[in-house]
Every structure is written in C-alpha cells, then in structure tokens.
Amino acid sequence: MSRICVPVCARSLDEMRDAVERAAEAADLIELRLDCLDDVEAASRAVEVEDARSFGRPLILTLRSAEQGGHSSVDYEGRRRFWSSLKPPAADCLFDLEYDLVQDLSSAASLHPLDADWKQVICSHHDFKGVPPDLEKIYEAIAATPAGIIKIAVQANDAIDCLPIFNLLERARREHRELIAIAMGPAGIITRVLGPSRGSFLTYGALDDENATAPGQPTAKQLRDVYRIERLDSETEVMGIVGNPVNQSLSPVIHNAAFAAANINAVYLPFQAHDVTEFMRRMVHPKTREIVWNLRGLSVTIPHKSAVMPLLDWIDETAKEIGAVNTILVRDDQLLGYNTDASGLMTPLINRFGAIRDARCAVIGAGGAARAASWALINEGGMVELFARNLGRAAITAKDFGVPCHQLSGADFAGFDIVINTTPLGMFGAYQEVTPATTAQLLGVRLAYDLVYNPIETVFLRQARAAGCDILSGIEMLIAQGAEQFRLWTGQFPDANVMRTRALRSLVQ
C-alpha cells in the first residue's frame, strides 16, 4: 500500500489551517510540522484533531529539533514538556519523535499521552551530511525502543547512496517491522518513489514546489501523476536516466506518460551519478548489482555517454561510430548499448528542412551531442563544420569525422543552411540567458535548431527568429529519440503525441 504524507510547514495557525485544507486534496496523511510555527509555545493549539479529521486524513504531529532539521530553537526540555503535556489525540494520529526523546519518555514512570499506545509513535533519525557508516546499528537501536514505526532519513549525494536504504527496507520486511526509509536530496528520489512498493510505511510528497520540507522532496502530485506511485509493485519494470545532473530532465515525464498510455507496469526514474563506473557495477549490471529489481534499461546523458561504453557487453555499430551511447538495454545478464540521438535529431530536422544532401551545416559544440549530430548529418550527405569554445576538445571530433573546426567566438554563419546548437547554453538555470550565436551571426541561415528544450524557445532561437531563420526546438529531438528508446526497452512503439503533450505541459507550468 502506497501512502503519501504531505508535510505542512507554516508560521501561523491560520496559515497552517489553510495549508492542511489544501494538503488534504493530495495526501493520505498530513504531517503538522509544529516546529515551523513562530510561536512554538502555542503549538498545542495547532493540534486540532477534530478539524483535521473533518478533511478525512489522519495526522502526524512533529516538533522537530534544530539538530534534526527542525525550524525551531526550542530546546530539549521544551520539546519534552510539549509531548508530556499534550492532550490525548485521536487514535488515527501519529507522533514523530527523535530517538533521544523516545529513549527518555519511554523510560519515564508515567507518560501522557504516549503511554496510551506506543504503536502510534514514529521514532526518527535524520542525517543531512550523508549516509552514516553505522546505519545498521542506528536501525537496531531504534528498533529496540517501544516505538511502533522506525524512521531513518539520510542525505544521498549519489544514486549508489540509496543502496543502504533499500537494504534497510528489505531487512525491515524480513523482521516484520514498520519502517520509513528515505534518502534525501535529488539523488535520493528513487527511494521516495520505490520505497512504498518495497515496504516503506509511507513516503513524503510536498504540497507544492515551494513547500518542500526536506532536500529533494517531490510534490505529492508528481508522485501520483508522473511516477504513478500507487501502481508500483515488486513486478514493476524500472527504467531511468543516468547523468549528472538529471533533476531538470523531462525524460521521466514523457516516458512515464508513455508507459501509462500503453498500460505497461513500468516506471522511469532519474539516477544522479557522479561515478558512472560504480553506479553501473553496483546498481545496473545483472552480474554485479547489489539490488534486486526488474531493471530493463537506461537513458544516458551528460557527462557519461562515452564513459559507459567500456562497461557494456555489446554496442551497436552506430554508437561505435559516433563514440557515444545514450541508451542501454538490459537483456538477460548483458548490457547492450545504442545511440538514438542521431536518429532522434535527424527525424524532425528532415521533416522540417527536407533532404540534407549537400546542405552546409554548422554544428556548435564539442561533446557527445555534437558527435552524434556530426555523424548523422554526414551520414545524410550534409557538409559539416564544427564551431566550439573548446577547440582542443572539438578537434577530436573534427579529426574523427574529417570536418573543419573553428572557434565559436566571432563566428559568422552566413552561407550556412543549418546551424545546430548542441551545447547547454540557453538551458533553464545558470545558462538560461546565454546564447551561442547572436542575430548578427545568424543572418542568412535558413534553419536554426537548438537541442536545448527547456525553455521551449531559448535565447538562441529568439535571436535566430529575429535573423529571419526558420527555427526548430529541441523538444522534437527529445520526443523522437525517446520514442526509439521506448521501442528498444519494450518492443513496441509509444504514443508520441502523449509524450509531446506531457512535455509541453510541464514546460509551460
């Protein structure tokens, strides 16, 4: 059973009541973060169980210490007094207490109201620095208390940091213990999505993007609508995108929508990995991975497209010639590598521009996408020239494919039929207001193609439009290459219109 708890963190009682009403629309449980209130001494007034129950959702009451990620400066004695003097709430209310308090209160001669039923107590431990080496001992210490539910949350800096969390869930399942186990941070989202299907008592989803109460916490709406968390089980096939970073990728949105439309029991997840070799060894390859799951395939993005190649058992000829893999298929006990970037790039380009033969094509960039674009254009008979900020890096691609290479700064693209940006310049975030080429540089170009898809219209495309160019957004490549990945993993073609609609809806929100 997948339960989503929506934490409510508000500075006043009125704000908290309003937030509880909104949270009830998406939550299975609601957590009142009493430590967020400005007046913590009056926190007991927020515990209006009758009001909360009128929304049909049970409560979790939390007065978190600052050391464990709380927002209040209330000291240990203040928290102890609060819990000891709290009026007995309803039976469907849970209490989240830190380990030190549980130890103290459970040994007291008289405990009011918690001595009513320790099964209602969540005994929690948080580590915001990383995964402690003694995680198993922490679990055992909490399990030795009378608390009915164990909660352990640690900071994940890499996807492989999630492995100890999944191990704890498996142990708790064997020992018939209720456990909430979460890896925080963007790298830990896979524990939030897969946790309930692997036995976690609940998972946490924020009310909205502005109200996350822990690092990397997705919204309840994302958990339900994107990841379809209520449909996941032990048989669910797992796919995902591995890279660094991956938190801005739209691939989870489009692939999960395609799985839903095709009625396939599968989920697509983001895997943030710094060391792709360790990730592939410990989480992916069937012969060495340390997790039992139905992993079917991966998308590969920056910066790992070339680095994964020595880790695979077989690579198709297109990927070998390009020198980059963006798609991995797990078949039996082997990893097979493909490149769908080339076909994904060319399909929308040919649909818009027509035949590429003898067209003069400028490719901006020096990475894996530039290699894929160069290979695909040459394969279609185009005349390619590379432009890059890092000539040393671009020279490798230029030599491999026998094409000229130029410095991007001050380049003049007059006379080129097609200019393709394969760099992250213009991407949502730090580079959003940057363009690899200006209007003056693009005068005379027939078509400008930006492989960046977020935002839909980048500064580069706006500059190109002003120069009189036809323009093509990277969203079309995203859909085309993703559709081919879907076919490789599932053996069937996805509904590309569903993928495009969900992608565009996410970008305009």
Catalytic site residues?
305
Nearest to 89 by CA among 122, 119, 59: 59
Whether residue 87 contacts residue 116, with contact meaning beta carbons closer than 8 Å, is answered with no
Taking the C-alpha atoms of residue 260 and residue 243, their distance in angstroms, rounded to an integer, is 24
Full DSSP string of 163-200: HHHHHHHHHHHHHT-EEEEEEESGGGHHHHHHTGGGT-
Instruction: Quote the DSSP letter at residue 327.
Output: E
Taking the C-alpha atoms of residue 183 and residue 166, their distance in angstroms, rounded to an integer, is 9
Full DSSP string of 385-412: EEEES-HHHHHHHHHHHT--EEESTT--
β-pairing verdict for 383-388 and 334-338: unpaired
Query: Which secondary structure element, helix H or strand E, spans residue 140, and what is its range?
Result: helix 135-143
Full DSSP string of 356-379: -TT-EEEEE-SSHHHHHHHHHHHH
For residue 375, give Cα distances in angstroms to 276, 303, 310, 343, 378. Answer: 25, 19, 21, 10, 5
